[in-house]
């Protein structure tokens, strides 16, 4: 029978564990999907992910150091190999030491990805194919927040952008978001929510983006938001504005400012997650100062979400028996949760076969 105490996230899949620049000289400890892991770079500079547990006395290996491609425990000097087996220890024979868990890890698109489930099922071909990743025609900038709420609350937040009118009134919010109809559809294991607005004023953030792209910012625009959830917990949001009357979403590049809001949401526990946020854009990709300014603005926007989500989580913990309403605007998040639940049932069924 499936495990009735299973956690609400998938295991046999790739999650973003860290930005590439976070895993440099020193080991990085991070709890992901309920498991304490340590990340470092092995002898070939490739990322390594191990259980953050020294088999000698149980000390966190993340408090140690990296030496000659080995992870050396900071307590008594036990050196661990990339396979999770003890390699050496001063004055001791380590051949009989029990191994610790090693997780498949790979580096791509400027991130370290980890597979917390069955290592035999890890397949790099299952990493997401990102149109903006490693593409010189695109620029990407982003950041990381540790947020104390269920990762599914963040998915709900990103799949229903109605909240922009209220939480982000000074940057990307506007009343026209409330007034525009929302359409939600399923495409295989993806949930997609779309909203299109025609002949409206651009909000402050998008006026800035128009100016930076050499376009007038004081004319009516067509605006779009296409939110796409894909398992295990990624949300890519196509956003942008175009001078009105040129086709909106399909307008040529010379009359619009468009980008992809990138959201990698990695569970830590049932009430906390790691939120890797950013924006990929296709205009002025070589302008590092523009990337920094957009990143600063995005960071402020997402910090507003963080405060709301953490307080929402506290309310839900304090009121465990309360039922929440499900409205039309919630359909994208509801479908995303159902996709996750269905895939977890499938995963559990596969794992419990004799």
Structural domain boundaries of the chain?
15-126, 139-347
pLDDT, position 351: 55
CA end-to-end span of the chain: 11
> pTM for the complete prediction?
0.93
Position 166 pLDDT exceeds 90: no
| Fold agreement between 15-126 and 139-347 | no
149 falls in which pLDDT band (50, 70, 90)? very high
Residues 6+ apart with CB under 8 A from 88: 70, 78, 79, 94
Position 327 pLDDT exceeds 80: no
Mean pLDDT over each residue of the chain, to the nearest integer: 92
CB contact at 8 A, 272 and 149: yes
Q: Which CATH architecture has domain 15-126?
A: 3-layer Sandwich (2.102)
CATH class of the structural domain 139-347: alpha beta
Between CA 5 and CA 34 the distance in angstroms is 13
Residues of the chain with pLDDT > 90, as a percent, come to 79
Residue with structure tokens 């359409």?
Answer: 183
């Amino acid at each position: 029978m499936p495990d009735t105490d299973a956690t609400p996230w998938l295991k046999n899949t790739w999650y973003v564990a860290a930005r590439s620049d976070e895993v440099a000289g020193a080991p990085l400890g991070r709890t992901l999907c309920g498991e304490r892991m340590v990340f470092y770079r092995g002898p070939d500079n490739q990322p390594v992910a191990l259980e953050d547990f020294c088999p000698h006395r149980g000390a966190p290996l993340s408090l140690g150091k990296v030496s000659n491609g080995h992870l050396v425990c900071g307590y008594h000097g036990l050196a661990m190999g990339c396979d999770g087996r003890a390699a050496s220890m001063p004055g001791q024979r380590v051949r009989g030491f029990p191994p610790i868990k090693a997780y498949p890890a790979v580096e791509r698109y400027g991130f370290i990805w980890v597979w917390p489930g069955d290592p035999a099922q890890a397949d790099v071909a299952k990493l997401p194919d990102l149109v903006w990743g490693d593409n010189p025609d695109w620029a990407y900038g982003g950041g990381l927040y540790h947020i104390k709420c269920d990762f599914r609350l963040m998915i709900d937040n990103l799949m229903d952008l109605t909240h922009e009118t209220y939480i982000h009134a000074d940057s990307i919010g506007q009343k026209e978001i409330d007034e525009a109809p929302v359409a939600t559809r399923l495409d295989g294991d993806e949930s997609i929510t779309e909203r299109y607005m025609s002949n409206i004023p651009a909000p402050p953030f998008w006026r800035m983006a128009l100016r930076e792209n050499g376009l007038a910012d004081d004319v009516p625009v067509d605006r779009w938001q296409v939110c796409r959830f894909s398992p295990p917990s990624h949300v890519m949001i196509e956003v942008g504005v175009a001078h009105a009357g040129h086709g909106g979403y399909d307008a040529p590049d010379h009359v619009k400012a468009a980008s992809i809001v990138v959201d990698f949401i990695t569970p830590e526990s049932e009430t906390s997650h790691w939120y890797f946020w950013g924006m990929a854009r296709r205009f002025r990709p070589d302008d590092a100062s523009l990337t920094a300014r957009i990143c600063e603005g995005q960071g402020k926007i997402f910090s507003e979400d963080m405060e709301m989500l953490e307080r929402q989580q506290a309310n839900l913990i304090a009121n465990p028996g309360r039922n929440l309403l499900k409205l039309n605007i919630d359909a994208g998040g509801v479908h995303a949760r159902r996709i996750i639940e269905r895939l977890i049932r499938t995963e559990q069924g596969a794992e419990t076969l004799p």
